[in-house]
Amino acid sequence: MQERKDRWTVGQWMTFNPQTVAPDTSVKSAFFKMRAEGFRHLPVVDDGRLVGMVTDRDLRRPDLSGEPDGWHDFYRLDEDYEVRHVMTTRVQSMLPGDGLEKSLQLLIERKFGAAPVVDKTGKMIGIITTFDLMRAFQAALSEVGEALRSGI
């Protein structure tokens, strides 16, 4: 019976050892890393500890600190501007033993696309994404789908 319960935990569906960046990574490097790998979220870690999260949306924020000379000046995507300046630092993380319902509730309520997963010491071990949750939903539907379709 324990196996069935564990099947619907964050640890069973998360992506292990996700790509990460350091706080001093340039926003340009982070942007191209996301683009090349097809990610929308990158955990920011320092010595293995989660210190923030940067998303594609964070990197696409316009820089409105000065008067723009042209469209290219709206975005600050250079080597001198670091991830630490745009990342979210108040990150809500999950534990691998948390239920999928808890992660789903967090992502829906906060409008997140992903949540980092840490162990009990705070070390970054994974990430649970909306894609991971869709895979879990697909598995759940294949188990109970016929009963749902027949109205039982």
Model pLDDT, residue 145: 75
* Mean pLDDT for the stretch of residues 99-128: 94
Spatial CB neighbours of 56, under 8 Å, sequence gap ≥ 6: 31, 34, 39, 40, 41
Q: What is the pLDDT of residue 122?
A: 87
Q: pLDDT at residue 6 above 70?
A: yes
pLDDT of residue 66: 59
* Residue 5 scores a pLDDT above 70: no
Q: What is the pLDDT of residue 81?
A: 81
pLDDT in tens, 32-88: 899 899 989 999 999 989 999 999 888 776 555 556 555 554 455 667 788 998 899
pLDDT bucket at 3, cuts 50 / 70 / 90: very low
Please, what is the average pLDDT of the chain? 85
> Which residue in 97, 106, 103, 87 sits closest to 125, CA to CA?
97
Q: Is this model's pTM higher than 0.85 or not?
A: no
- Residue 8: pLDDT above 60? yes
Q: How many angstroms separate the first and last alpha carbons of the chain?
A: 23
| β-bridge mates for residue 88, sequence order | 53
Residue 150 scores a pLDDT above 80: no
The C-alpha angle 18, 23, 24, rounded to 5 degrees, equals 120
Averaged pLDDT, 105-120: 94
